[in-house]
Structures are given as structure tokens and as C-alpha cells.
Amino acid sequence: MKKIICITTVIIAFVSFNNNTQAQGCVALRGSGSAYMSAHPDEESAQGWVFTSSLRYFKSYKHYSGTIENIARLTDGTNVINHQTTIDLSLVRIFNNRWSMLIDAPIEANSRSSLYEHGLVNGAYVKKERHTMHTFGLGDARLAVYRWMFNPATHKKYNVQLGLGIKLATGDYNAQDYWYNVGPGGSKVLRPVDQSIQLGDGGTGFTVEANTFYNLSKHFNAYGNFYYLSNPREQNGTRTFRETLAPSLANEAICSVPDQYMARVGFTYTAKSGFSASLGGRVEGIPVNDLIGGSGDFRRPGFVVSAEPAVNYSLHKINIFASMPFALVRNRLQSVTDQENSVKFNKFVRGDAAFADYVVNLGIAVKF
């Protein structure tokens, strides 16, 4: 029974709401949302440390408005292509079989290839050229405290772990690279990169988590993970320059600081050899309206529903794991500024966003 719970929870330890959790692509989720769930209390009655290193990669290139793919963007070559890689480093201090604390820091390497940012002025191209912008560095770090809510001695079949944390604005939210064909005489100009590849969102936020398991049999168990990041700050002051692309985008000139959320449910099978496999569902995204504070300025709200297979191998104090969530539903929602423009221009307005087909997660956890 111990192994069944441990396998499930270790897999959860590296899952990124990455963390740019994806809604993958232009719906910009930061590298600060790794859901953590420590091993079952039976396994962790002694104090200790768990270090986890995980890698997350995806390529987004398909544009959606609502749930409808804009296939023309792909076929005519005007689509945006984002490559995002995150190395997530987390350290967990286990105080006893109920209490633990997490320190999490992501390192991000992002690139964004597009046409419209490199020569589109007031809706017309000065030159139709594709160029690439890059960012690299520390993302938004996070601190969190966790507690198993039921006494492990009397609740071995199921339990619930709650977590509260703070997300720090350690990532650069005004990272810059060159926009081409936008300066005098068609020169390049150093400007902030798109929100989707910024290293941070510029807000100090608060996280709430719930992680749970239920043993169905000796080898099968169910799991659930729920995460929400509340960002009270409305906007971070970073200019988007979207107002230079078209007059109708004037109210999207500054980046918003959105909330984020994730939920996962599924089942795990564990063999005696230390190998396990799980299959579940996952939804993650950015809401249209934040729980606290304003929700205006520029954001691309939306969500992705994914199927998430995963495997894990446990050997003594080392766990190696991998998962590949692949998108089933991608939905770019209408933002607050889209709604305002719909009223202003007396027509339905909703922007689009690029999403990935799948995400690759790899990692290792070591207890010492």
C-alpha cells in the first residue's frame, strides 16, 4: 500500500502548472505552479529532505479562438510558434508525517517566432518577415507549507493534504528582445517580448492546493490534485505595443497579471517491482476574471483539457518519472478587453491563442 501511494504522489511532485502550465503556448502560465504532494505519511514519518528536478517542454503552433482551430494561420504561415523549456528545481523539508514545506524555483528558456510583431503597423505589414525572440532566466519562485488533514495512523486508506503558499515576483516580467521593421526606416527596436514568453508575471500571489488519494485495492488507487494561484495585482506596467498593431487594440497596451488554476484526477497501478503507471485527466488555464483585483488590460484567458499518461520507477530513495499530457480540448476564452471591445464596436470580439498538442515532462526525485 505504501508504494501505491508513494508512486502517485511522486509523480505529482514534478507536475508543472509550469509552470506556462498550457493552456500551453500563448495562454501564458508561469513556471511557478508545480503541484506538490509528499509521499504518504507511512513513508515519511522521519524528518528529511526531498530534492526534485524536472524538465518540461512543449511547442505551441496551432491557433484557436474559442474551441475552433484557425487552420488558415497554419496553412498560410502566419501562425506564432513558441518553444518553451522549463527546468524546475524544488526542495521539500519533511518535518514529520503530517507537515512539510516546499521551496520551488523554475529556470526557463523560451523562444517565439512570428510575423506580426516584426513589421505589422496599423494592420498593414511594412515587411512580411518571420523573426524569433528569446528569453532565459529565473522564473517566479514559490514557497508553500503542507499538512495531511487526517491522522495517518487511522487513515491509511485515504487522506487529504492541503497546502498554502506564496508566489514571488522573481521572474523578469519586462524581458526584452528585438522587434524588426518597426523603427525609423524599418530598423529593429528593443522592446518587451510577448507575455507568453516573459519569465514572470510581475505579481506577488497566493496559492491554495489540495492533494488526495484513495486506495481501491492492493495495486490500484485514485488520486486528485487541485491548485489555484490568486494574483491580486491587476497589471504589471509592461507595455505590449499591441496598440501599434491596430487601433482597436488600444486597451491591450499593458500586460495583465492573471490568476491560474489546475486540476488533475486519475488512477495508478503499481507493480511489486517499483514500476507504476497512471492515467488521468487534467485541466489548466487562466480565468477571464480574477478572484481578487481587476482583470483588465492584456491577457489571453483560456484552458486546456488533457489526457495524462505517466510512468514512474522507484528504487530505494530515488524516483524517476515521466508524463506526456496531450490536449483533447483547447479553448481561448473572451477576455475582459475583448468584452469591452465587443460593446465598443457593436460586434463579437475574441482574440486567438496558440496551443501545443502535447507536453513532455521528465524528472527525478531524491530523498536524503
pLDDT tens, residue by residue, 261-320:
999 999 999 998 899 999 999 999 999 999 999 999 999 999 999 999 999 999 889 999
- Quick one: average pLDDT of 322-335? 97
Whole-number Å distance between alpha carbons of 326 and 284: 12
How many CB atoms are located within 10 Å of the residue 224 CB?
Answer: 18
| φ/ψ of residue 210, rounded to 5 | -140, 125
Beta strands in 240-341 (DSSP E): 254-256, 260-270, 275-286, 302-315, 318-323, 326-332
pLDDT of 170 strictly over 60: yes
120 or 17: which leads in pLDDT: 120
Write down the pTM of the prediction: 0.91
For residues 324-335, average pLDDT: 97
pLDDT at 318: 94
CA distances 110 to 178, 215, 256, Å, are 14, 40, 20
Query: How far is the first Cα of the chain from the last one, in angstroms, to the nearest whole number?
Result: 22
Q: pLDDT category, 37, cuts 50, 70, 90?
A: very low
Average pLDDT over residues 71-96: 95
pLDDT tens digits, one per residue of 237-272: 999 999 988 888 888 999 999 999 999 999 999 998
What does each C-alpha distance from 222 to 1, 61, 98, 217 come to in angstroms?
A: 12, 33, 20, 10
Q: What is the pLDDT of residue 99?
A: 94
Which residues touch 263 (CB under 8 Å, ≥6 apart)? 224, 225, 226, 227, 282, 283, 284
Residue-level pLDDT at 30: 52
Q: What is the DSSP letter of 21?
A: -
Interval 69-90 mean pLDDT = 96
What pLDDT sits at residue 293?
Answer: 95
pLDDT average, residue stretch 171-188: 94
Residues 234 and 295: their CA atoms lie apart, in Å, by 6
pLDDT of 15 higher than 80: no
* Residue 142, phi then psi, degrees to nearest 5: -145, 145
Across 178-201, average pLDDT: 94
- The percentage of the chain sitting over the pLDDT mark of 90, rounded to a whole number, equals 77
Domains (range + CATH), the chain: 2-114+130-168+193-367 (2.40.160.40)
Give me the pLDDT at residue 27, please.
67
Residue 46 confidence (pLDDT): 65
What's the pLDDT at 24? 58
Residue in the structure block whose three cell numbers are 521593421: 181
The fraction of the chain above a pLDDT of 70, given in percent, is: 88
Give the integer Cα–Cα distance in Å for 26 and 281.
Answer: 22
The more confident residue out of 77 and 19 is 77
CA angle 20, 25, 29 (to 5 degrees): 25
Query: What CA–CA distance (Å, rounded) separates 216 from 109?
Result: 41
**Tens digits of residue pLDDT in 100-150:** 999 999 999 999 999 999 988 777 888 889 999 999 999 999 999 999 999
User: Please, which residues have CB within 8 angstroms of residue 77's CB and are 6 or more apart in sequence?
Assistant: 115, 130
Residue 40: per-residue pLDDT: 46
- Is residue 196 within 8 Å of 243, Cβ to Cβ? no
Rounded Cα distance between 367 and 52, Å, is 9
Residue where the block lists cell 497566493: 206
Comparison of pLDDT for 157 and 125, the residue scoring more: 157
Q: What is the mean pLDDT of residues 158-185?
A: 96
pLDDT band at 153 (very low <50, low <70, confident <90, very high): confident
pLDDT (0 to 100) of residue 244: 87
- Comparing CA positions, the residue from 172, 179, 96 lying closest to residue 141 is 172
Query: Looking at the DSSP assignment, which residues form a beta bridge with residue 93?
Result: 49, 101
